[in-house]
Amino acid sequence: MTRQQFWDRFPEFKPTSAELVEAALAEAARGISPTVYGSRFDDAQGQRAGHILHVSPFGTTTRLDGDKDPETKSRYWDSFVVIRREVAPRSMVL
């Protein structure tokens, strides 16, 4: 995912500097496998990057009013988890 694609998908981060967005996208990409995520890689990378930016000290504009502990809940993380479950569902071992 490019920086511009990220900003197009998540306009709430347009005020965020290009350097921070690039760093978050790079960090997010290191945590997911293109082989596993396939066509959902960009979606997963964007959601992870959104979460990374959300929990940073600069992410206050993306938080809900009254959000006292942003690391415990993020709509970006929740969306990432949905994608992760779609591409790599856990199987139960008996």
Q: pLDDT tens-digit profile of 23-78? A: 999 999 999 999 999 999 999 999 999 999 988 876 555 545 445 555 556 889 89
Q: Indicate the number of domains in the chain.
A: 1
In a domain, 93, yes or no: no
In a domain, 37, yes or no: yes
**Which pTM value belongs to this model?**
0.80
**Residue 78 lies in domain:** 3-87
In a domain, 92, yes or no: no
In a domain, 17, yes or no: yes
In a domain, 49, yes or no: yes
In a domain, 63, yes or no: yes
CA angle, 84 then 74 then 72, to 5°: 100
In a domain, 29, yes or no: yes
CA angle, 62 then 23 then 61, to 5°: 10
Task: Answer whether 3's CB lies under 8 Å from 21's CB.
Answer: yes
Checking if the pLDDT of 21 tops 50, the result is: yes
In a domain, 94, yes or no: no
CA-based nearest residue to 40, from 73, 88, 93: 88
pLDDT at 89: 77
Task: Answer whether 82's CB lies under 8 Å from 37's CB.
Answer: no
Sign of CA dihedral 31, 34, 38, 44: positive
